[in-house]
Amino acid sequence: MAKFMNIVRCKVKPSSRDEYLKKINEMPNFDGQISAKYVETKPNEFFMIGEWNSEDDIAKARPKMIGFLDTLRHTLDELSPELGVTDPHSGTVVVEK
């Protein structure tokens, strides 16, 4: 079975940076999630990269992930009116080295 990944971009309000980092640091992995990594690419702009056992696992975890995001929404800046506060993408791992 192929691994599945999700990548989510968000921008954190400068005044909420410490709260955001504390909450994501305390968040346990979801069922079926192998790992989660948070990368800061610009000041207060983060990408979360999640690795999952399968697409089914991420689908099952989606309600809990949205629930967790709801606890962070107030810390995030809107990316655009179309996207809201996150820019999520996901797909099957096709090459792993």
**pLDDT tens sequence across 64-95:** 999 999 999 999 999 999 999 999 999 999 99
Neighbours of 92 (CB within 10 A): 12
Q: Token match 């999520």: residue?
A: 88
Strand ranges (DSSP E) for 1-97? 4-12, 33-42, 45-52, 76-77, 87-92
Q: Where are the domains of the chain?
A: 4-90
Reduced to 3 states (helix: H, G, I; strand: E, B; else coil), residue 23 is helix
CATH, domain 4-90, list 3.30.70.100, 3.40.50.300, 3.30.1320.10, 3.60.40.10: 3.30.70.100
Confidence (pLDDT) at 1: 62
Question: pLDDT digit string (tens) for 9-60?
Answer: 999 999 999 999 999 999 989 999 999 999 999 999 999 999 999 999 999 9
The tokens of 13 are what? 């309000």
Confidence (pLDDT) at 17: 97
